[in-house]
C-alpha cells in the first residue's frame, strides 16, 4: 500500500510514521519531508497513492488577535483545500482518505459519553476550522468515490506530549501543579500509538469515529501516574472553596487573569466521549492510558 502522510513533524504524525510501513510512505510537510510544501499557501505536487493520512493542522494555542484566529483557518481549512487540489492533479485519485479531527468540533466543556451524532456546535477558531475541514473532505470524497474516514480524537497521550498534558507534566516536575476540587473530573484520552495501529484498518472501512481508552481517567489518576514516574510526591489539592475564591478574583481582573470561573467550571466538569462505534465496527481494543503511558 502506498501512503502519503501529511504532518509527519507533528506529535501524532511522527508516531504514525513509526507504525506504518516506512518504505511505502511519502511524507509531506513544511520541512524534513519527502514533499516540502506549505499547504496554507501552496498546492502540492503529489504522486499517486492508495491512502492519504491527513494529520497536519494547527492546534494547542489560544488565539489572541484576529491574525492568530485567521491562521487556524489558513492552516486547517485552506491547507485542506490545497491538499485536495493537489490530489486532483495526480495521475489518479487515492482509494481512501483519513482525516485526523478533534472532539473540539462539538464545542463542549462538559458531558458524558458523547456520541458521533452530537451536533457540531464549536464556536472557537480551532473547532470551527475542524468542522469546515471535515465538511470539505466529506464532500470531496463523496464526489470522487473515495473512502472517507474521520477520527475525532480527545486528548492524545504519549512520550513528550504537547498541549495541556505537556503542561501538566512540566508543572508536576517543577512542583507548581495542583489538582482542584480533588481532581475527580473525568476526561477522555487515548494513546497516540493505538491511533497509529488502527488507522490503516479504519481507512479501509470508512466512517466517523471517536477513539478513547474507554476508562476516561480523572486528573487525580493521571497526575499520580506522572508524579510516580518522575519520582515526585502526588500533587497537592486545592479545595473547591479556595478555587472558587481564586476564580472570582480572576473574574474581577478580566482577560489577563490566568484563572476564572469559566476555567474552574471546565476543569471540574466531566467530558467523555463514547467509542462503542469504533469497538463494534473497527474492532477497536485500546490500551488503558494509566497503564500504557510512559514519560520519556
Q: What is the pLDDT of residues 228-240, one digit of tens each?
A: 999 999 999 999 9
Per-residue model confidence (pLDDT) at position 258? 80
* Residue range 6-14: mean pLDDT, rounded: 92
Least Cα distance to 106 among 15, 188, 202, 49 occurs for 188
Q: Does residue 27 have a pLDDT over 80?
A: yes
Could you tell me which residue, 221 or 69, shows the higher pLDDT?
A: 221
- 220 falls within a domain: no
Q: Does residue 143 have a pLDDT over 80?
A: yes
Question: What phi and psi values does residue 175 have, to the nearest 5 degrees?
Answer: 90, 15
Per-residue model confidence (pLDDT) at position 32? 86
- 245 falls within a domain: no
What does the block give as the cell for 178? 495542583
Helix (H), strand (E) counts: the chain: 11, 13
- 232 falls within a domain: no
Element (H, E) at 50: none
- 248 falls within a domain: no
Count of domains forming the chain:
1
Per-residue model confidence (pLDDT) at position 68? 84
Cα three-residue angle 120-124-128, rounded to 5 degrees: 50
- 76 falls within a domain: yes
Q: Does residue 42 have a pLDDT over 80?
A: yes
Least Cα distance to 51 among 206, 194, 192 occurs for 206
Question: What phi and psi values does residue 146 have, to the nearest 5 degrees?
Answer: -110, 135
Chain-wide mean pLDDT for the chain?
Answer: 94
Cα three-residue angle 141-19-26, rounded to 5 degrees: 55
Element (H, E) at 262: helix 261-267
* Residue range 72-99: mean pLDDT, rounded: 95
Per-residue model confidence (pLDDT) at position 69? 87
Q: What is the pLDDT of residues 243-264, one digit of tens each?
A: 999 999 998 888 777 888 988 9
- 258 falls within a domain: no
* Residue range 33-53: mean pLDDT, rounded: 94
- 253 falls within a domain: no
Q: Which ranges in 206-239 belong to alpha helices (H)? A: 219-229
Least Cα distance to 59 among 135, 122, 138 occurs for 122
Domain limits for position 101? 3-157+189-213+272-287
Q: How far apart are the first and last CA of the chain?
A: 32
Q: Does residue 291 have a pLDDT over 80?
A: yes
* Residue range 41-57: mean pLDDT, rounded: 95
Could you tell me which residue, 57 or 134, shows the higher pLDDT?
A: 134
**Cell 493537489 found at:** 86
CB 189 within 8 A of CB 229: no
Strand intervals (E) in 111-224: 111-114, 147-153, 155-157, 179-180, 189-191, 207-210
Per-residue model confidence (pLDDT) at position 163? 87
- 292 falls within a domain: no
Q: What is the pLDDT of residues 190-209, one digit of tens each?
A: 999 999 999 999 999 999 99
Length of the chain equals 296
CATH number at residue 199: 3.40.50.720
Q: Does residue 20 have a pLDDT over 90?
A: no
Amino acid at each position: 500500500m502506498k501512503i502519503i502522510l501529511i504532518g509527519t513533524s507533528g506529535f501524532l504524525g511522527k508516531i504514525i510514521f513509526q507504525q506504518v510501513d516506512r518504505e511505502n510512505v511519502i511524507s509531506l510537510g513544511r520541512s524534513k519531508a519527502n514533499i516540502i510544501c506549505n499547504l496554507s499557501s501552496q498546492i502540492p505536487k503529489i504522486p499517486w497513492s492508495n491512502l492519504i493520512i491527513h494529520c497536519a493542522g494547527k492546534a494547542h494555542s489560544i488565539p489572541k488577535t484576529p491574525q492568530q484566529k485567521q491562521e487556524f483557518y489558513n492552516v486547517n481549512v485552506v491547507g485542506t483545500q490545497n491538499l485536495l487540489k493537489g490530489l486532483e492533479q495526480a495521475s489518479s485519485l487515492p482509494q481512501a482518505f483519513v482525516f485526523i479531527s478533534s472532539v473540539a468540533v462539538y464545542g463542549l466543556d462538559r458531558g458524558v459519553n458523547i456520541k458521533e451524532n452530537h451536533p457540531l456546535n464549536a464556536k472557537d477558531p480551532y473547532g470551527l476550522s475542524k468542522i469546515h475541514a471535515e465538511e470539505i473532505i466529506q464532500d470531496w470524497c463523496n464526489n470522487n468515490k473515495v473512502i472517507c474516514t474521520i477520527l475525532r480524537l480527545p486528548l492524545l497521550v504519549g512520550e513528550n506530549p504537547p498541549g495541556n498534558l505537556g503542561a501538566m507534566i512540566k508543572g508536576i516536575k517543577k512542583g507548581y501543579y495542583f489538582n482542584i476540587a480533588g481532581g475527580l473530573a473525568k476526561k477522555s484520552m487515548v494513546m497516540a500509538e493505538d491511533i497509529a495501529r488502527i488507522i490503516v484498518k479504519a481507512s479501509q472501512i470508512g466512517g466517523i469515529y471517536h477513539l478513547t481508552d474507554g476508562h476516561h481517567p480523572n486528573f487525580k489518576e493521571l497526575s499520580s501516574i506522572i508524579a510516580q514516574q518522575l519520582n515526585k510526591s502526588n500533587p497537592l489539592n486545592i479545595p473547591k472553596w479556595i478555587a472558587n475564591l481564586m476564580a472570582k478574583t480572576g473574574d474581577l481582573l478580566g482577560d489577563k487573569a490566568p484563572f476564572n470561573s469559566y476555567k474552574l467550571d471546565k476543569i471540574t466538569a466531566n467530558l467523555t466521549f463514547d467509542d462503542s462505534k469504533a469497538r463494534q465496527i473497527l474492532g477497536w481494543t485500546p490500551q488503558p492510558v494509566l497503564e500504557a503511558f510512559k514519560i520519556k
